[in-house]
Structure 1
Amino acid sequence: PDGCVPLDATRGINKVEITDKIPYIISPRHTLLLTDKPLFLRWNPVTDATRYTVIIKSPSEYIWETEVSENQVIYSGKFPLKTGVRYKVIVHTDTEVSSFDEKSPFSKQDYLGMGFALISQDEQQEILAKTQELTQKLDGEARVLSIAEFYQQNRLNVEAIAILESFIDQGYKTPTIYRILGEIYQQIQLPGLAKNYYLQSAKLTGVDDVVGTAKIEATLGEVYATLGSNEEAIRWLKLASNKYEKLGEFQLGDEVKLSLEKLQQELGEE
């Protein structure tokens, strides 16, 4: 199941308790917004839950509340969101669990945390001008990747995810698109979703791309380790280690070996 990890988990092996028993927020999560219309809210579906109470709140007040039976809803926009205010989505279920039950994996110094904020009108104009420029200069996958990267650089994670997932829905299924989606979900501390995209990227990466394959295998090793699946993590790390050794990429290989040795020690392997 999907879950959340400590902020530094992508840099090492940190065990976490993963549970699908709470409606943790998937979107918008740890992101700035280009616009609040439409604003799609999505969370983890909880087994046996039939009703979800969904709330948007600012640090000082509750903005909006509704009740739904699915694990997604569109914010009505009845009360326009203000720029520069950090909002948070809260979901309660009729099984008496809540998104509050997820302890924030983000640093207290991180302004966004598990929340979201709307950028100013001036910033919005700058972003739109740049994306229009990229749209005119580039085509196809290059255009989508460039815009997604630009969104990421500006912490517009929800926008980056939307353009990449839309590209996949149009039938453009490439290893790079899936890998970048994995990176974004890992960045917003949802390793279970990141794992799914990384696996798809690994499946689509050509056998001739040995470096690309090794990198995705090493990343999968880290993700499985953060999810607590040590044996699966070791399997992927071994695959990556073997490839780096054959390629003579000793620095990258040594980093993988360190992670591998730590996991093997925990499992009592030689």
Structure 2
Amino acid sequence: MSGSLLSKQVLAAHRIVEATGKVELKRQNSSYRPVSEGTELRSGDLLKPASGVRVKVLCEDGKIRSVTAGVTTGINQICPPPRTRNGSRPIVKARPVDRYMPYIISPRATRLLTYTPTLRWNDATDASRFTVTVRGRGLNWTQEFSREQVCQDGICKVVYPGSQPLQPGVSYKLIVETDTNRASTEDSTGGLGFKLIESDQAREIQVIAERIQQQDVPDQFKGLALAELYAKSDLTAEAIEILEGQENDQKIVPSYRLLGDLYRRIGLVLEAEGPYSKAIELTTATQHWEELAAAKAGLGEVNYARGNRQEGVSMLEEAKAIYEQFGDREQVGELEKRLEQLK
């Protein structure tokens, strides 16, 4: 998928969290169609609940607002316009990795809110010990761990203790080396460093996060809204951590699709495949055709990046057909451009 289309899917502005009956949505350059709880809303959308239907929207600012029943209302009248953010960084181009390489999963190509991030890397299957290093301007923290201490279910992780504090604005890099002479630096992908977010931006995000936590909405919508809030501010590692940490019964279709998008944003196509596939599986029981199309497009890109080019193009064409069926000309145009690039 092109960078702009992935960013658009990641950066949903607002979301329907309650709908007691028929609700129709009209996007720009599209026709009206019925929608349900969980549908993302963007600037320029029109919402039309039937008479007597109660609809609530969780806005990007973390507040819930009601939609007047029986009339058509623009989303910009319901929620404040979205803020400009830095979350639409270019997608990291995936490079080939193998299961014996301790490639970095997190933090990579991200900003951070926390001073003590969870450091995650691929379990290099034949390694017994790992030397973990965080380097940056004036900082060089190193510690050795055994497989038994840090690895489980194919992932190794440890919390950075903060004994050598990270500083805002400084670029850091996580490096992992094994006792089998393999290293994360074998991954030649560029731009995998991470930085602490500036304190004024962190305060603004934390205010909205606390507001979301206080809202009386189902937990699955809270987790999704928090992940989207972080993703919009390029806090990709923490957005992924929230989504990965949700209980299975709290994960809904947009959560899986967003998780796939975020892994693909940082060049981890292997990790993106499972969430995309789960989103596609779950959409068979919902009306979330947009999520189905987005997940198919994402999985198409994953297949293409992994060398399954024919299957990748086929899935992108399936996504395009879904958007065509529902009259979303903007997304159709984006996919047409992408398919032309792949020919």
Contact 1:10 1:223 in 2 (8 A): no
Contact 2:168 2:196 in 1 (8 A): yes
2:26 corresponds in structure 1 to none
Q: For residue 9 of structure 1, report the CA deviation from its aligned partner.
A: 11
Q: For residue 201 of structure 1, report the CA deviation from its aligned partner.
A: 0.7
Structure number with greater CO (CA < 8 Å, separation at least 6) is 1
Q: What stretches of structure 1 move > 6 A for 4+ residues in a row?
A: 7-11
The 1:217/1:124 distance shift into structure 2, 3 A limit, reads: closer
Cα displacement string for residues 179-198 of structure 1 (whole angstroms, at most 9, x for unaligned residues): 11111111112121112111
Asked whether 1:58 is paired with 2:136, we answer yes
Asked whether 1:98 is paired with 2:183, we answer yes
The 1:179/1:130 distance shift into structure 2, 3 A limit, reads: same
Q: Which runs of no fewer than 5 residues in structure 1 stay unpaired? A: 1-6, 106-112, 266-270
Asked whether 1:222 is paired with 2:222, we answer no
Contact 2:139 2:164 in 1 (8 A): no
Query: What amino acid maps onto 1:87 in structure 2?
Result: Y
The 1:255/1:132 distance shift into structure 2, 3 A limit, reads: closer
2:126 corresponds in structure 1 to 48
> TM-score, normalized by length of structure 1?
0.78
User: What are the residue-to-residue correspondences of 1:1-270 with 2, within 5 Å?
Assistant: 17-20=95-98, 21-37=100-116, 39-69=117-147, 70=151, 71-105=156-190, 113-140=191-218, 141-167=220-246, 169=247, 171-206=249-284, 208-249=287-328, 252-253=331-332, 255-256=334-335, 259=338
Name the SS of the counterpart of 1:233 in structure 2: helix
The 1:41/1:209 distance shift into structure 2, 3 A limit, reads: closer
Q: Which runs of no fewer than 5 residues in structure 2 stay unpaired? A: 8-91
Cα displacement string for residues 69-95 of structure 1 (whole angstroms, at most 9, x for unaligned residues): 232222233222223222111001122
Query: What amino acid maps onto 1:36 in structure 2?
Result: Y
Contact 2:104 2:174 in 1 (8 A): yes
Distance 1:103 1:9 in 2: 25
More helix by share: 1
Q: Highest Rg: 1 or 2?
A: 2
Cα displacement string for residues 208-256 of structure 1 (whole angstroms, at most 9, x for unaligned residues): 4444323321221122112211233134234334434544556644654
Name the SS of the counterpart of 1:82 in structure 2: coil
Q: In angstroms, what is the RMSD of aligned CA positions?
A: 3.2
Q: How many residues align?
A: 250
Distance 1:187 1:138 in 2: 31
Q: For residue 131 of structure 1, report the CA deviation from its aligned partner.
A: 1.1
Distance 2:258 2:216 in 1: 18
> TM-score, normalized by length of structure 2?
0.63
The 1:242/1:130 distance shift into structure 2, 3 A limit, reads: closer
